[in-house]
Amino acid sequence: MKSKFTTYLLIAAVVVIWGLIVKRIFFSDDKQPAVQVRTAPVTIDDKETEVLLLDYRDPFGMREATPKSVVKPTPKPAPQEPQLEPFNIHFVGTINHDKRTFYIVELGGSQYTISVGSEIDGFRLTAVSGGQLHFVKNKQSYYLAL
């Protein structure tokens, strides 16, 4: 917009358009309500009564629902927590050889050299992370600090 004429022309167009919008919203001459309201004759007795107009079609297109038989669920017995086996493995040290790491652990007075995937007395070393050895036995996890 290098010329002032174009700038003034666009400002005038914006003012005219917004003026029409404001006129239609706030200064409409229509006296009819935007939505027709259906009313039903209501007779009022001594009691308070309310009348609902329920002659509209089903908005979900569903048929009348038939009540189904209700089946009461039987409570399941609480599962017993698994017995934890004593974890008496002690970390002794590490050995690094040919880009592999071996871990020396002590179990029952005997020392074992293990790596990830090895198993001693049913305890499988599955991972080493965060300064901990992760052992699994019978789907139960055990952690041993390095």
At 33 the pLDDT is 56
Q: Which domains does the chain have, with CATH numbers?
A: 89-145 (2.30.30)
Burial of 45 (0-12, 13-18, 19+ CB in 10 A): exposed
- What does the chain look like in DSSP terms, one character per residue? --SHHHHHHHHHHHHHHHHHHHHHHHS----S-SS----------SS--------SPPTT-PPPPPPPPP-PPPPPPPPPPPPPPP--EEEEEEEEETTEEEEEEEETTEEEEE-TT-EETTEEEEEEETTEEEEEETTEEEEEE-
- What does 16-51 look like in DSSP terms, one character per residue? HHHHHHHHHHHS----S-SS----------SS----
Which residue do the tokens 């499988």 mark?
A: 124
At 130 the pLDDT is 81
- Whole-model pTM? 0.43
At 84 the pLDDT is 65
- Model pLDDT for residues 87-121, shown as the tens digit of each residue: 788 888 888 888 888 888 988 888 888 988 988 88
